[in-house]
Amino acid sequence: MKAVAIVVAALAFGLLPYLTSSNYILGVAVSAAIYTVAAAALNLIYGYTGLLSFAQLGFWGIGGYATALTVVTFGGTFWLGLLWAGLLNAALALIVGYPTLRVGRHAFVIVTLTFALLVTLVARDWVDLTRGPLGIPGLPAPSLFGFEFKTTSHFYWIAWIYALLALGFLYALGTSRIGRTLVAIKQNEPLVRAQGIAPMPYKLAAFAISAAITGIAGGIFAFHLKVIDPLFLDFYYMQTFLIMVIIGGAGSFWGVVIAGIALSALPEVLRFSSDFRMIIYGVVLLVIMLVMPGGFAGWIRQRRLARMRAALR
Partner 1 sequence: MAVDPVYLVQLTLNGITLGLLYALIAVGLALIFGVMQIINFAHGELLMVGAFAMSFALPAMGSLYWPAMAAAVVATMICGLVIYETLLVRLRPDEFERSILITLGLSIIVLHVVQYLFTANPRMVDTQYGFDGVLIGSIRITWTRIIGAVVAIGAFALLFVLLKHTQFGRAMRAIAQNREAALMVGIRPRVVARNAVVLATGLCGLAGAALAPIQLVTPGMGQFLIFKAFALVIIGGLGNIPGAIVSAIGLGLIESWIGGFFEIVWQEAAVFILMVVVMFLKPDGLFTRGGMRVG
Partner 2 sequence: MTALLEIRDLRKSFAGVHAVDGVSFTVEQGSITGLIGPNGSGKSTTIDCIAGFQKADGGRVVLAGTDIAGRSAHQIARAGLMRTFQTVRVYENLPLRDNLAIAAQQFDDATWSDELFRTRRYRRAAAAAETRARELIELVGLARYYDADAGILSYGQKKLLALAAALMPRPRIVVLDEPVAGVNPTRIRDVEDVLRKLNAGGETFLIVEHNVEFITNLCHHVIVLDQGRKLAEGTAAAIHTDPRVLEAYLGMTPEMAEAEMRGAA
Please report, as ranges, the residues that interact with partner 1 according to CB under 8 A: 46, 50, 52, 96, 99-100, 102-103, 105-107, 109-111, 113-115, 117-118, 121-122, 125-126, 239, 242, 246, 273, 275-276, 278-279, 281-287, 289-290, 293
Residue 302's alpha-carbon distances to 108, 186, 307, in angstroms, are 28, 18, 9
Among residues 57, 69, 163, 173, the one that binds partner 2 under rule CB under 8 A: 173
Please choose which of partner 1, partner 2, none residue 107 contacts, taking the beta carbon within 5 to 8 angstroms, the exact cut-off set by kind: partner 1
- What number of chain residues touch partner 2 (CB under 8 A)? 24
* DSSP string for 88-129: HHHHHHHHHHHHHHHH-HHHHHHHHHHHHHHHHHHHHH-HHH
Could you tell me which of 202, 207, 205 has the C-alpha nearest to residue 181? Answer: 202
Burial class from Cβ neighbours inside 10 Å (0-12, 13-18, 19+) for residue 267 reads middle
Please choose which of partner 1, partner 2, none residue 106 contacts, taking the beta carbon within 5 to 8 angstroms, the exact cut-off set by kind: partner 1
Taken as a whole, the chain contains a residue count of 313
| Contact status: 194 vs partner 2 (CB under 8 A) | yes
The Cβ-side half-sphere exposure at 290, using a 13 Å CA radius, reads 6
The residue (of 17 and 255) whose beta carbon lies closer to partner 1 is 255
| Contact status: 103 vs partner 2 (CB under 8 A) | no
d(C-alpha 5, C-alpha 31), whole Å: 23
Please choose which of partner 2, partner 1, none residue 190 contacts, taking the beta carbon within 5 to 8 angstroms, the exact cut-off set by kind: partner 2
Q: Which residues pair with 137 in a beta bridge?
A: 227
The residue (of 140 and 168) whose beta carbon lies closer to partner 2 is 168
Q: What amino acid is encoded at 226 in this protein?
A: K
Angle at 47 between CA 4 and CA 37, to 5 degrees: 55
d(C-alpha 229, C-alpha 132), whole Å: 7
d(C-alpha 192, C-alpha 204), whole Å: 16
Please choose which of partner 2, partner 1, none residue 133 contacts, taking the beta carbon within 5 to 8 angstroms, the exact cut-off set by kind: none
Q: How far is the CB of 177 from partner 2 (least distance, A)?
A: 5
| Contact status: 274 vs partner 2 (CB under 8 A) | no
Angle at 257 between CA 253 and CA 261, to 5 degrees: 170
| Contact status: 286 vs partner 2 (CB under 8 A) | no
Please choose which of partner 1, partner 2, none residue 172 contacts, taking the beta carbon within 5 to 8 angstroms, the exact cut-off set by kind: partner 2
The residue (of 24 and 98) whose beta carbon lies closer to partner 1 is 98
Q: Which residues pair with 162 in a beta bridge?
A: none
Among residues 9, 198, 269, 290, the one that binds partner 2 under rule CB under 8 A: 198
d(C-alpha 295, C-alpha 40), whole Å: 14
| Contact status: 150 vs partner 2 (CB under 8 A) | no
Among residues 41, 136, 166, 184, the one that binds partner 2 under rule CB under 8 A: 184
| Contact status: 72 vs partner 2 (CB under 8 A) | no
Please choose which of partner 2, partner 1, none residue 114 contacts, taking the beta carbon within 5 to 8 angstroms, the exact cut-off set by kind: partner 1
| Contact status: 172 vs partner 2 (CB under 8 A) | yes
81 neighbors 66 (Cβ within 8 angstroms): yes
| Contact status: 146 vs partner 2 (CB under 8 A) | no
The residue (of 51 and 220) whose beta carbon lies closer to partner 2 is 51
Residues at the interface with partner 2 (CB under 8 A): 172-173, 176-178, 180-181, 183-184, 187-188, 190-198, 305, 308-309, 312
